[in-house]
Amino acid sequence: MRSYSKPTLLAIGWLGLMLFFALFGWILPFKEWNYVFEDDLEMGLFSSGHILGTDSNGYDLLASIVAGTRMSIFIAVAAVGLGGLIGSVLGIFSAYVRGKVDTVMVTLFNVGLSVPNLVLALALVSVLATNVDINQAVPTWRRVMVLIISLTIILIPILGRIARGATMSWAGREFVTAARSMGMKDIKIITKHIVPNVLPALIAVAFLAVGVVIIAEASLSILGVGIPDGASWGGMIARGRNDLEYAPHTLYVPLFFLALTVISTNHLGDVVRSKLDSREAKV
């Protein structure tokens, strides 16, 4: 195996830590993220008992971060997984079949892409998260579901178009023609010959998409339509905004975690893509 560069190892390490928080955060000896430490309001960084301090509600910031990691990573992974799956199926299929199906699909992708991401997300979230009784608050789990669905819908045309483009470039190659002339079924050609070749490109973009989704969740929470009162990084930023004058560390902490995670996913996406490019160059 070839060795990885230092930044890559750091990025993998950081994402590993975030995954640990997300999956096994409940092992850590914290109280609930929204447990109120009444005597310890707005404690600074590195105070005793609260390593990352507390906010003006008396929430321990480290406990909030761990719970927020779970939520933000869950939303990101779910949206990218779903969006990637649906998008790549649609993209690969339409590029393979061509003809009218492809034209319709491209038009639909273009429609999705012609509305800026965040505008579409805002519209979807606001429509989907409307209660039948408009005076009742929408429960957090439903907000999370709505966020995942909306972000998935946004990712479908982005990832779909990349899958389509990659399939286009592979479907015309000789080995595909050869497989077809030997009487291989289309489904088998797609799974055996197209998907393995398209997958690396999709993985590279999926890393970038995780970053996009994390940022989108935070943006929506700042605008008050995400999970502003819940345990997510965006929620913490939205709450911290109110205290930015007197307790700015309540903003620094979530911003730091969010930025480092996005830097890591972007870096890994770049690494995967550059490996891919060098492989392409050899072909």
- Contacting positions for other proteins (CB under 8 A): 107-108, 110-111, 113-119, 122-124, 126-128, 130-132, 134, 211, 215, 218-219, 222-225, 237, 241, 244-245, 248, 251, 255, 258-259, 262-263, 266-267, 270
223: nearest Cα among 244, 231, 215 = 215
Alpha carbon distance 79, 145 (integer Å): 10
CB of 56 vs other proteins, minimal distance in Å? 15
Min separation Cβ 264 and other proteins, Å: 8
| Residue (84 or 112) nearer to other proteins, CB | 112
- Name the nearest CA neighbour of 59 among 38, 42, 34, 39: 34
Question: Shortest approach of other proteins to residue 87 CB, angstroms?
Answer: 17
Report the nearest approach of other proteins to the CB of residue 201 (Å).
17
Q: Are 69 and 22 in contact (CB under 8 A)?
A: yes
Give the shortest CB-178-to-other proteins separation in angstroms: 27
Q: How far is the CB of 30 from other proteins (least distance, A)?
A: 25
Report how far residue 47's alpha carbon sits from residue 232's, in angstroms, rounded to the nearest whole number: 23
Three-state DSSP at 127 gives: helix
CA distance 125 to 153: 11
| Closest CB to other proteins among residues 84, 254 | 254
Between CA 142 and CA 132 the distance in angstroms is: 13
| 88 vs 221, beta carbon nearer other proteins | 221
Our CB check for other proteins shows the closer of 130 and 177 to be 130
Q: Which of 69, 71, 74, 60 is nearest to 30 (CA)?
A: 60
Nearer to other proteins, 202 or 268 (CB): 268
* CB-CB contact of 153 with 84 (8 Å): no
How far, rounded to the nearest angstrom, does the alpha carbon of residue 16 sit from its chain's CA centroid?
A: 16
Report the C-alpha gap between 136 and 130 in whole angstroms: 9
Provide the minimum distance between the beta carbon of 38 and other proteins in the complex, in angstroms, as a whole number.
27
Nearer residue to other proteins within complex by CB, 89 or 255: 255
- In this complex, which beta carbon is closest to other proteins, that of residue 25 or of residue 68? 68
Residues 6 or more apart from 167 whose CB is under 8 A from it?
A: 91, 92, 95, 96, 194, 198
Per DSSP, what are the bridge partners of residue 50?
Answer: 47
Nearest-approach distance from CB 108 to other proteins, in angstroms? 8
Report the length, in residues, of the chain: 283
Residue with the two structure tokens 């929620």? 235
Angle between helix 140-171 and 117-128 (nearest 10): 140
Which lies closer to other proteins via its Cβ, residue 183 or residue 246? 246
